[in-house]
Chains A and B, each alone.
Chain A
């Protein structure tokens, strides 16, 4: 490793980094009892409801169960189509 890499601590991820990422991921699902299928159903229904009121980019919708300092959060990222593109 060159000097700069050593400063930044570049290496393949340490086991500590791996543990942290795996824990975050596993806890996201432990904390909310929502199976992947249920999440997909929720996403489809959400898209249907919002589409009744707004034109949205359905393919660009992202729904995830939140993590981090707020322990339980459902986050929906829904791109709205700009006016001029509406047919």
Chain B
């Protein structure tokens, strides 16, 4: 097997990159794939905590790059699933400890042992982002339906294309259909029109995400969670399956308004 390397990035912080990586990792593993997740947010690591593996860290990405340990020793196996691994970031260093070439080399060493390598990019456009982007075969760009996030996503799309990683895919996270209907939130259609890239996932705002992070148990394990289902659908689309997007009463078009009015009267 030769892994597909998927970098999840956004520009803006706090839009759900780490949540996406954790949940995609679980989802793909639940589909029987062999998955490794790499946290490149050196100095501000969080993928370990979101995945619930924080107390299993012995070695990290910087230890591997600097040759203090073998790759196998740093990879943490998630015991809840047969084939999910985490390569955590270092917490006491910063993003200059690793270069894009280091990242390409680490992924090269891992490529034959996994079906997917998911790379959690830090926020921003500096070294950390460049490190995360370097080995990518596929780039997923996460945004929320907010002006700042969409603006930053646009910049990231430009930088991604400039790095010759063509066809990044969009994930819209934390959409709230009631707010879209009221005219208080950008719709999926608005965002796609503005950013003009293909969409691979729409994830509703879901309280379960907070609970899942509290527990260190990603929502993708939870069949009843809307967000969990959305992430599992993204995993299926990555696998090439044509999964229809969940109808989230989104976009309130002309005819929907007409139907609603007629129903009310």
Contacts and interface: CB of A to CB of B under 8 A. Distances in A.
Contacts of A30: 151, 154-155
Contact-residue bracket for chain A:
20 to 34
Contact of B261 (A6, A16, A22, A69): A6
B196 A20 contact: no
Interface string B178-210: 001011111100100110100000000000000
B88 to A, nearest CB: 34
Interface of A: 3, 6-9, 11, 14-17, 19-20, 22-24, 26-27, 30-31, 68-69, 71
Nearest to A13: B183
A68 B190 CA distance: 11
B190 A16 contact: yes
Given A7-B261, A23-B194, A27-B194, A15 B151 contact: no
Interface residues of B, number: 21
Given A9-B257, A30-B151, A69-B196, A20 B184 contact: no
Interface of B: 147, 150-151, 154-155, 158, 180, 182-187, 190, 193-194, 196, 254, 257-258, 261
B196 A7 contact: no
18 contacts: A3-B261, A7-B257, A14-B182, A14-B184, A16-B186, A16-B187, A19-B190, A20-B190, A20-B194, A22-B147, A23-B150, A23-B186, A23-B194, A26-B151, A27-B151, A27-B154, A27-B194, A31-B158
A-B pairs, 6 with minimum CB distance: A14-B183, A16-B183, A20-B190, A19-B147, A27-B154, A69-B196
